[in-house]
Amino acid sequence: MLPEGYTQVETTVRAVLADVLGLSAERVAGFTATTPLFGALPELDSMAVAGVLTEIEDRLGILIEDDEVDGDMLETFGALVEFAAGKALV
Amino acid sequence: MAPRIDHYDWSGGREALLRFGPDDGPVAILVLPLFEEANRTRTFAVGLLRRLAERGVASLLPDVPGQGESLIPLADLTRSRMAEALEALTDRCLDEGRRTYAVGIRSGMLLDHCALHSGRWHLCPQDGDALLRDLHRTWRAAGNTGSPEMMIHGEDTVEIAGNILSRDLLTSFSATTSFDQPRVPRRIVRLASDPAPAHRHIDAAPLWRRAEPGDAPDLADTLAADIADWIATCEA
């Protein structure tokens, strides 16, 4: 059972990826939990990661500590949504 | 009509500026976000000011010292020095009998506190601590490790996304926020995705976050109308 608000977090993360990386709405709409991100999306280099995380912070009203940022949370779309939801849905 | 190239003088030297619209009446002075975000918003800002001119509103787009085509090394500057330069530009307008209105995009609004503006219009204002947090994250993304304090105080200067920033410059933005005084009009416009309070929220993407510089003509249209209406209300 997904926690309340999980879908909203997922929508937000999807929109952030589209806005920061300049991806089309159709493309991000096709992202599933297992869609690989870092290392698989050429648009998502380390500088773009900084923009994605900061924009997620702003939109969800959360703070992501630097020591929480690692390869695992960026590996797939599902992992990133899960991380953001873990912060936003306390 | 194409913008005209001009310049302005301040105690630290001479900087370039673009002029748009009529040569009389109130004038909007647009300040781009600082550092890397300036590159991502310049095309958009020029489009916005062209649209403002089409509505009969004059505007200026000055190079802030240390930014754009300025010859002054960024590392030699502080927030106060940058704001002092913009104050000199406003003073010149006031001497010509023209009232000025600040238009600040993101962290650009942190530089309008010295000038005697008749009002301030801020798009998605970013305060100093948020600016420093962004810089720290970018610094770390470039392979550096350490806290924000290590970024600021580790060396005399630090290079972040191609900008050489000094300790004095970085600390001068710490804990800074917008100029907001009673009786001086201030209008805040944010994007719909930004939950912070504002006079208006507009559905658009934050082009200052885009990995590659882009443009947003529809947003420029909407904002030009908003600014023109707001200045007209202030002047009434």
Find which of A28, A41, A44, A47 to mutate to test the B interface (most B CBs within 10 Å of its CB): A47
Place of tokens 């201030």: B186
CB contact under 8 A, B205 and A18: yes
Q: Is residue B171 part of a domain?
A: no
The four Cα atoms B61, B64, B67, B68 give a dihedral, to 10 degrees, of 30
Predicted local distance difference test score (pLDDT) of residue B195: 83
Q: What is the mean pLDDT of each run of 10 residues along chain B (236 residues)?
A: 92 97 97 94 96 98 95 95 98 98 98 97 96 92 89 91 93 93 93 91 92 88 98 96
The amino acid at A73: M
Query: Which ipTM score applies to this complex?
Result: 0.82
At residue A9, does pLDDT exceed 50? yes
Find which of B106, B137, B144 to mutate to test the A interface (most A CBs within 10 Å of its CB): B137
Per-residue CA distances from B31 to B120, B167, B236 (Å): 11, 23, 24
CB atoms within 10 A of CB B203: 10
Q: Is residue B164 part of a domain?
A: no
Range A38-43 average pLDDT? 89
CB contact under 8 A, A46 and B137: no
Predicted local distance difference test score (pLDDT) of residue B194: 86
Q: Is residue B111 part of a domain?
A: yes
Within an 8 Å CB–CB cutoff, is residue B98 touching chain A? no
Confidence of residue A16 (pLDDT cuts 50, 70, 90): very high
Q: Which domain holds residue B60?
A: 4-127+177-229
CB contact under 8 A, A59 and B138: no
Closest by Cβ to A49, choosing from B136, B141, B195: B141
Decide: pTM greater than 0.80: yes
CA distance A8 to chain B (A): 12
Predicted local distance difference test score (pLDDT) of residue B48: 98
Predicted local distance difference test score (pLDDT) of residue A2: 58
Within an 8 Å CB–CB cutoff, is residue A49 touching chain B? yes
Per-residue CA distances from A78 to A32, B115, B157, B212 (Å): 7, 48, 39, 25
Q: Is residue B156 part of a domain?
A: no
Q: Is residue B234 part of a domain?
A: no
Structure tokens, B215: 């443009």
Closest by Cβ to B194, choosing from A43, A51, A58: A58
Q: Is residue B56 part of a domain?
A: yes
Q: What is the CATH number of the domain that holds B55?
A: 3.40.50.1820
CB contact under 8 A, B141 and A46: yes
Domain boundaries, chain A: 6-88
Is residue B18 a contact partner of residue B30, using CB atoms and an 8 Å limit? Answer: no
CA distance B139 to chain A (A): 9
Contacts of B193 in chain A (CB under 8 A): 12, 15, 19, 58-59
Predicted local distance difference test score (pLDDT) of residue B81: 97
Number of domains present in the structure of chain B: 1
Is residue B207 a contact partner of residue B44, using CB atoms and an 8 Å limit? Answer: yes
Predicted local distance difference test score (pLDDT) of residue B193: 87
Q: What share of chain A is helix, strand, coil (3-state, %, to 5)?
A: 60, 0, 40
Predicted local distance difference test score (pLDDT) of residue B105: 98
Within an 8 Å CB–CB cutoff, is residue A75 touching chain B? no
CB contact under 8 A, B137 and A66: yes
Kindly report, residue by residue over A57-84, the tens digit of the pLDDT: 989 989 998 788 888 899 999 999 999 9
Within an 8 Å CB–CB cutoff, is residue B206 touching chain A? yes
Select from B203, B194, B197, B236 the least CA-distant residue to B222. Answer: B203
B30 Cβ contact partners less than 8 Å away, ≥ 6 residues apart: B45, B48, B49, B59, B60, B61, B103, B104, B105, B108
Within an 8 Å CB–CB cutoff, is residue B197 touching chain A? no
Kindly report, residue by residue over B84-111, the tens digit of the pLDDT: 999 999 999 999 999 999 999 999 999 9
Average pLDDT score, chain A? 90
Predicted local distance difference test score (pLDDT) of residue A1: 45
User: According to the CATH classification, is domain A6-88 in 1.20.1250.30?
Assistant: no
Q: Is residue B147 part of a domain?
A: no
